[in-house]
Structure 1
């Protein structure tokens, strides 16, 4: 736990990279600006032990305990916030009458937090009269291990959406904790959780109506074989490593969550298995854990599709996702949640978590991890949308996504993974909530100083 200063603010974390010889005056100006931005500016973790990598361009916002003070979120953006143990937080969405809106919240317990299987996160979208448009709850599950989990909710304007939530106006994304940590005498710890919020808009399609597919190929295919290729997973959605069809190897430690992403186009089916290798000689009590490894699949708006779990007794074991339908717009009309979640083309995310109890039984690893990925079927044309999504291109597989997959690249910005980056200084300034003008002035000042220091003598 980081100590607060006398002013009540957390100490500001230093930039991840600092060019030697930078002007002390400019650095001081940047530091002063960050401090003036408020305590949330210092929420960016400064040590490598933090369990999650937030997006470089996440904007830090404060959730409101009442809708009257709710800050407005903009579609196509990702945000960072904090969720106390006993709070229900609201964020405002200003919506028109034709656009679908999806909000996902990823909860990240801080290092050392304790959770029970029943602890979790609930997200709902509500209208100005308190009607619930949709809601979703996720739990940490039987691993009893604190790790990033994401829940999603939506406002849908067409068939399948709530009739009361189809009009234009102010809506609210409501985020709350669920489970044992909110009850007296619970074994879970009441520490704050960090949040990453993702807000995506989907325009209406040309034409109306549709029904869920009546049948699809639900047979498990032959496993993908071949020599595994090394691909290291990322620590969050923004750092997810791109994978295509093939066999991929990595290593995971107890308590760690690794993120990967797979491009799945309209009409294609995704199959994935995760194999945990036999135990190392790291000591421990041995025995058997009923649930040790969890693989969660999320769709392009970070909505959970399905989970696969497996126990562990020191021997190799496999967790496989159940067969899923081909990606189709009409899947949203299905009554089965995991079918309905396969409603978009784009990046599908795999989050693989190894429970912390594995360390007590089998040592701290690392343990070998093998992923077998298959994407079947030919890509088909998607719906003819009237307008553009935000972020643009999130509901499709672009040439850039194919190149990223072929190269085995990781990272990206926002839901669409359309690129981005930025250094540590820019991340910290953005986190502080500085206005565009102030940020530009500070950055130009720093750039000017650095440019002059790089010039040869006698050039001006």
Structure 2
């Protein structure tokens, strides 16, 4: 027997800001000409790079019934400073350049480098005239950089997903909700627990409702994930601890709390300023997960369109290092998922666009995706397979040994009259095998 080694995700840059790419990501090179673009397979993570001002093409194959999503996580190096408008734009296009959809992400007023994500999608609509047919489509990733002196390449993590089909005969709403519970929940009062975040989406630590304590260093981003089912509403607050030093210098947009959906499309974020005293920031109230949210005009509504693992990230500005040092600062991440789960609208398995009992157990244990895969049903299946194989090999050995002993016991003594081969002409398996 042989065992395959699982390698951890490689960090893109040294230091506290290092990002852990998906360990299963395949390397792919973007093309400057769309006809030379490499194809992305559904459900497979990819790793690429993009330089300042570059426009890179990739390609996907779509059917004529499924909504499709292509996301790009932009991972700057460890240089720290970025301009206000720096970011990426992701668009999905027909090969004649007709645009199906696009999404953009930038660093905002914080102006510090950290992983940011954007996605583009194609939906199939009754009466639609653009991007409705099956065939090949272009994915265009564009990088915008304001500083002409910036020559550093950014890492890219790409993913292509297709949404499951709706149940046959189901009638879904075609308008976004007009209102939803928008009051902030009461603060949690339960016991605070420690749980360390991951360095990328693939390493995101699972959380359930509760108050979670961690630390984050200047220039670092911590990743978490929370299972949010159909009909459920997520609330999150990040509270940064006070400084133990004497410095009280003001730093604007010191911490950013972000929420991304299961397709790694950005949903919402909140930021806080810091002057050495405790400070907190909360995501604005979002609608419960519902299929009809996709018809909303705002990103914060339309991105809450399916169930699954929602990603929370906490980033700390590198500007804090000058006044408060390079040591990590404690913070608390409070998570509340409200409402009872509702039925999935999909036909069959939902894949990443659903929440299972196993997902809830993984969240309770605080495992990331790799840890869950090693301890979940697949491990049990593998162990069962190895166990069954071992039993069969052992059984064959016992059968052979018993057969030989019977043959020896039934054979005449050498040299005795009538000595010859055993009756039956060969070995017979012991009874019961």
TM bucket by the smaller chain?
Answer: 0.7 to 0.9
Alignment map for 1:170-319 (pairs within 5 Å): 170-181=136-147, 184=148, 189-205=150-166, 206=168, 207=170, 210-281=174-245, 286-319=248-281
How many residue pairs get aligned? The number is: 368
Q: Is the 8 A contact 2:241 2:278 kept in 1?
A: yes
**Unaligned residue ranges in structure 2 (runs of 5+):** 376-433
Return the alpha-carbon distance in structure 1 between the equivalents of residues 308 and 362 of structure 2. 13
Taking a change above 3 Å as real, the CA distance of residues 337 and 52 of structure 1, as seen in their structure-2 partners, is: same
After superposition, give the CA deviation of every residue in 1:248-287 in whole Å (9 maximum; x if it has no partner). 0000110000000000000000000000000132x76x42
Return the alpha-carbon distance in structure 1 between the equivalents of residues 219 and 321 of structure 2. 8
After superposition, give the CA deviation of every residue in 1:213-270 in whole Å (9 maximum; x if it has no partner). 2221111111112221000000000000000001000001100000000000000000
Taking a change above 3 Å as real, the CA distance of residues 291 and 48 of structure 1, as seen in their structure-2 partners, is: closer
Q: TM-score, normalised by structure 2?
A: 0.80
Taking a change above 3 Å as real, the CA distance of residues 239 and 88 of structure 1, as seen in their structure-2 partners, is: same
Taking a change above 3 Å as real, the CA distance of residues 260 and 162 of structure 1, as seen in their structure-2 partners, is: farther
Return the alpha-carbon distance in structure 2 between the equivalents of residues 142 and 346 of structure 1. 30
Aligned to 2:118: 151
- Shift, 1:324, TM fit: 0.6
Task: Name which one, 1 or 2, has greater alpha-carbon Rg.
Answer: 2
Could you tell me which of 106, 124, 133 is aligned with 1:167?
133
| Higher RCO structure, 1 or 2 (CA under 8 Å, sep 6+) | 1
- Shift, 1:56, TM fit: 1.2
Q: TM-score, normalised by structure 1?
A: 0.76
After superposition, give the CA deviation of every residue in 1:30-80 in whole Å (9 maximum; x if it has no partner). xxxxxxxxxxxxx87595656100111111111111111100101111100
**Unaligned residue ranges in structure 1 (runs of 5+):** 1-14, 19-42, 422-460
Return the alpha-carbon distance in structure 1 between the equivalents of residues 41 and 349 of structure 2. 14
Q: Is the 8 A contact 2:13 2:78 kept in 1?
A: no
SS in 1 for 2:363: helix
Could you tell me which of 102, 106, 112 is aligned with 1:135?
102
Aligned to 2:47: 80
SS in 1 for 2:352: coil
- Shift, 1:132, TM fit: 1.0
- Shift, 1:117, TM fit: 2.1
- Shift, 1:293, TM fit: 0.5
